[in-house]
Amino acid sequence: MSLPRQATRFLLRASGSAVLACVLGASGLAHAELFGDSDWKESEAPPPPAFSQDKLVDIEMPRYSSLKFGVDPNTIKVTGDGVVRYVIVAMNKEGGGFNAFYEGVHCATDEYKTYARFTSGGSWEAVQAPEWKRIGDRTSRYTQALANQGLCRGHAPRASVGEMIRFLKTPIREVE
């Protein structure tokens, strides 16, 4: 038994509309995933905290990296806007000098921002007009490693700072 011609047209149009709705819905979700919440507003960053080179938790980096990176776990804070802020220290593997940066990661958008740099004089110097940059940027491999190894779980900060520290100390590769 075949359907009347009008019923067939109706079913074809309905199924086409359903497919279109699914595609548009998926593209909307993808846009939200890529670009985050358009209503999100960053709160004012607290001043850079004091840090200790003696308490650094190492960040796993590729063997070819000439620098060693560590984060002071006492500096990791999550603010109400969802930004994870911390002090990261970069050192030459052979020893010698170091650089420290006060940064923030916004897991929801895969972005980071550098707020201040530690000077050789022993004080923080604020970055003028800091901007959010993509974590995947080649200049921020340590930030990507830090976010993946402990700060973020997917597109959200981990449940607590304690959990972040635990994952940084014993990195576990998760399927997300």
DSSP secondary structure, 33-72, as one string: HHH--TT--PPPPPPPPP--GGGPEEEP--TT-SEEEEE-
Q: Say if 44 falls within a structural domain.
A: no
Q: Say if 175 falls within a structural domain.
A: no
Q: Say if 87 falls within a structural domain.
A: yes
- The chain-wide mean pLDDT, for the chain, equals 82
pLDDT in tens, 4-38: 666 556 555 655 544 334 333 433 333 344 455 57
Q: What pLDDT, on the 0 to 100 scale, is given for residue 95? A: 75
pTM: predicted TM-score of the whole model, two decimal places: 0.75
The first and second tokens of residue 87, run together, are: 């002090």
Q: Which residues pair with 83 in a beta bridge?
A: 106
Q: What pLDDT, on the 0 to 100 scale, is given for residue 12? A: 53
User: Does residue 111 register a pLDDT over 90?
Assistant: yes
pLDDT in tens, 48-84: 999 999 999 999 988 888 899 999 999 999 999 999 9
Please state, for a pLDDT cut of 90, what percent of the chain lies above it. Answer: 60
CB-CB contact of 164 with 150 (8 Å): yes
28 and 58 together in one domain: no
Q: What pLDDT, on the 0 to 100 scale, is given for residue 28? A: 38
Q: Please classify residue 9 by burial: count the beta carbons closer than 10 Å to its beta carbon, then call 0-12 exposed, 13-18 middle and 19+ buried.
A: exposed
Q: Residue 157 — very low, low, confident or very high, per pLDDT cuts 50/70/90?
A: very high
12 and 96 together in one domain: no
The range of the structural domain enclosing residue 1 comes to: 1-35
130-151: average pLDDT: 90
**How far, in Å, CA of 27 to CA of 43, rounded?**
29
Number of domains in the chain: 2
CATH, residue 117: 2.40.128
Q: Say if 94 falls within a structural domain.
A: yes
Q: Say if 140 falls within a structural domain.
A: yes
Tally of residues, the chain: 176
Q: What pLDDT, on the 0 to 100 scale, is given for residue 19? A: 39
Q: Which residue has the higher pLDDT, 6 or 150?
A: 150
83 and 146 together in one domain: yes
